[in-house]
Structure 1
Amino acid sequence: MSTADDTQKTKDPEYLSTLERGLRVLNAFDADHPELPLSEVATITGLSPAVARRCLHTLLELGYVGKNGRRFILKPKVLEFGSAYLHSMNLEQVATPYLQKLRDQTGDSSSLAVLSGDEILYLVHVSTERKIRLGASVGTRFPVHATSLGRALMAYQPDSVIDAYLDTVELRKFTEHTITAKAELEKRLRKIRQQGHDSAQDELDYGIVSVAVPIFDTNRQVVASVNCSTSTTRVSREKLIEERLPLLQDAAIEIELALKKWPFLANSLRG
């Protein structure tokens, strides 16, 4: 089904639809679909089998896709795209040192994420040796509504963005504590704006507790969020907020100051 955005893109003489189709094919692969036959690629992407086949064979020739019998699979070369972003944007200098310090201070994992549609996308993750049921790494995506990182990001979006999100999002239930009512989520987002942080316990998976704060650019526009997360067996939600929130807020300030030196990174994160 065509959308207004699709129509606008087709009117743009600079828009290269063949590139868009190729990227759509790459995005068809995920944890649930590591290998795909041509027919499923066509179904997932909404492309005709002929177009999907041409895209796949081009990507195969370029080394981004491989073949296992009649099924296609991503090749490690696709990591070049993410590597180019991470290296060019200096995230290692801007965010990682402060999240590492936070990890060392608290013993908790710490992450920085950005908004990507109805999901958050992890750009930096500093882990501990403590294992939790639901791990994360650079490139991990989780739904906005079930994470403190996501809600801390969404709460400070323009009202028009929040309204559009609430109108279209499907609030999937992960546990009995996941917010699945849009009115409740809207109320939570308003509360986050007032208090400046959000927390979550057993919402995305059982046994995980976290607290998150937003990251702002020099224009006070939210560009990312950072968190502390750990196991509920280590600390209660109340204790996490009491002990970790001040340290997390300090880390956020340091990252915001660092962003002033790298304005192109702030522009990139803002999307």
Structure 2
Amino acid sequence: MTRHSSPDAASEDHSFVAGSSNDPFKGDPNFMTSLARGLEVIQAFTPQRRLMSISQISQKTGIPRAAVRRCLYTLTKLGFVYAQDGKNFELRPRILTLGHPYLASTPLAKATQPVLKHISQMLNESCSIATLDGDDILYIARASSSRIMSIDLDIGSRLPAFATSMGRVLIAHLPPEALNNYLKRVSLVRYTQHTIASVSSLKEELKKVRAQGYAINDQELEIGLRSIAVPLLAADGSVSAALNVGVQAGLVPIAELTERILPVLRDGAQELSLLLS
């Protein structure tokens, strides 16, 4: 698949296209190219791009139109996608059966909801936990406040790691070699005028995040949205998940993120980190 090229391309960055010349599995008799392509087609849909045509999916994934058409035909017959107008496809609720059992059964997803709910109620803000999946973050637990946020997020949602507070916490704590590889391949998209758009600036920001122990995102992914995130530490000191609180920029000044919200987040992170021990 192609790298992120627009704000609605918040999906995992794949290094190959199934069946192409650079497919590392080409020639492997046990590798099912048709299955791989079907999964690529499913992952082409995002919260920002819910409706997609065959040509749009083909362009995004690099899979030939004819193969995309066959994948969508099969997925439609199985009840995973449909096209009301016959041209623009969208995922059906049945797609949740593919990932929800995993997300719902992970120790964090099962055990963190009481803590997340408590944090959300204390602050009257939405609170989430995410892990790093490829170059994206994957939401695995969430507690929403009564305030309405413009961005629609839920368990299973994905966002580009570099432009999110949780993503920066997770990237900043990668081993040196993995971090260097990430910085070499990442494609930075300027989602707003506040988005960090150079690798050198991102590298400096990640150093700051690692040193201070938290990350702040001030309207870099979407105007009007701010967030602050802290790492969840395992017993060995490694970081496999991050905890954040998202706020409306018009209601919560940026200074309030560190003065009021950060202490609550750190207390919650300390409690949640026990689950990783």
Q: TM-score, normalised by structure 1?
A: 0.84
Amino acid at match of 2:247: T
Please give the per-residue CA displacement for 1:40-69, whole angstroms capped at 9, x wherever unaligned.
433333223333233222222222122435
Amino acid at match of 1:97: P
Report the equivalent of 1:44. Answer: 60
Q: Does the 8 Å contact 1:34/1:74 carry over to 2?
A: yes
5 Å-filtered alignment, 1:219-234, equals 219-234=236-251
Confirm whether residue 55 of structure 1 aligns to residue 53 of structure 2.
no
5 Å-filtered alignment, 1:1-271, equals 7-10=23-26, 14-31=30-47, 33-71=49-87, 72-260=89-277
Partners of 2:82 and 2:39 in 1: CA distance? 15
Please give the per-residue CA displacement for 1:97-141, whole angstroms capped at 9, x wherever unaligned.
111111122222111111133322222221111123334322332
Structure whose residues are more often helix by fraction = 1
Q: Does the 8 Å contact 2:41/2:71 carry over to 1?
A: yes
Q: Does the 8 Å contact 1:214/1:252 carry over to 2?
A: yes
Partners of 1:195 and 1:93 in 2: CA distance? 29
SS at match of 1:8: coil
SS at match of 1:185: helix
Partners of 1:231 and 1:43 in 2: CA distance? 34
Q: Does the 8 Å contact 1:178/1:204 carry over to 2?
A: yes
Between the two proteins, the alignment pairs up a number of residues equal to: 260
Give % identity.
35
Partners of 1:119 and 1:84 in 2: CA distance? 20
Amino acid at match of 2:176: D
Partners of 2:270 and 2:177 in 1: CA distance? 27
Unmatched 5+ stretches in structure 1: 261-271
Amino acid at match of 2:24: Q
SS at match of 1:177: coil
Distance 1:7 1:174, change over 3 A: closer
Amino acid at match of 1:9: F
CA RMSD of aligned residues (A): 2.6
SS at match of 1:176: coil
Q: Does the 8 Å contact 1:132/1:207 carry over to 2?
A: no
Shift of 1:161: 2.0
Instruction: Please say which of residues 180-189 and 142-151 is displaced more in the overlay.
Output: 142-151
Shift of 1:34: 3.4
Instruction: Please say which of residues 80-89 and 47-56 is displaced more in the overlay.
Output: 47-56
Partners of 2:112 and 2:236 in 1: CA distance? 19
Amino acid at match of 1:200: N
Q: TM-score, normalised by structure 2?
A: 0.82
Partners of 2:30 and 2:272 in 1: CA distance? 36
Unmatched 5+ stretches in structure 2: 2-13
Q: Does the 8 Å contact 2:16/2:23 carry over to 1?
A: yes
